[in-house]
Amino acid sequence: MNNQNSTQEVTLIAAASENNVLGKDNQLIWHLSDDLKRFKQFTLGHAVIMGRKTFESLPKALPNRTNIVLTRRSDYKAENAQVVQTAEAALALTKEDPTPFIIGGGEIYNLFLPWAHKIELTRIHKVFEGDAFFPEIDPQQWKLIASQKHPAIAERDFSFSYLTYQKNH
């Protein structure tokens, strides 16, 4: 899987529980404002590629970003977003962006894993039940290059860590 732009750094960005749960019934399970701020800081001004269900879970297209929705539905329309049917078509729309972000959901993360160079993962240190999952991170393919732990506080009963992985070459 060759990325057509070798200077690009395709990045998966996600928040997942200890058991890799991303969400349930097309919703996030936890509210973590620090993580939402971090997500915004990373993705602002960049292309964000997401699946249809993720797009539909948002109140509207993410502002100040190029929203790209990947769906099998050829007749799908999304306000303020470009709609494509293949991963290659999605990536082609990002060729001017040095850092396009893959923002979910589970099927989309799996689909783009071969193209990804980096993973920005917020690991929620708790087990949740859900129906969307982040792929297993293979330590043979990925190296943890940064980690920042945040303790549990009164407003939330779990700690979390920001983890940055780089693909081994």
- Length in residues, the chain: 169
Give pLDDT, residue 103.
98
d(CA 56, CA 65): 16
Q: Which of 145, 138, 140 is nearest to 120 (CA)?
A: 145
Question: Does residue 71 carry a pLDDT above 70?
Answer: yes
d(CA 42, CA 162): 13
- What pLDDT sits at residue 146? 98
Residues 77-97 have a mean pLDDT of 97
* pLDDT for position 5: 52
How far is the C-alpha of 169 from the C-alpha of 165, rounded, in Å?
A: 12
Query: What's the pLDDT score for residue 1?
Result: 44
Predicted structure pTM score = 0.94
Q: In this predicted model, what pLDDT tens digit does every residue of 30-59 receive, in sequence order?
A: 989 999 999 999 999 999 999 999 999 999
> CA nearest 67: which of 77, 165, 122, 166?
77
Distance CA 87, CA 71 (A): 10
Domain 11-167 top-level CATH class: alpha beta
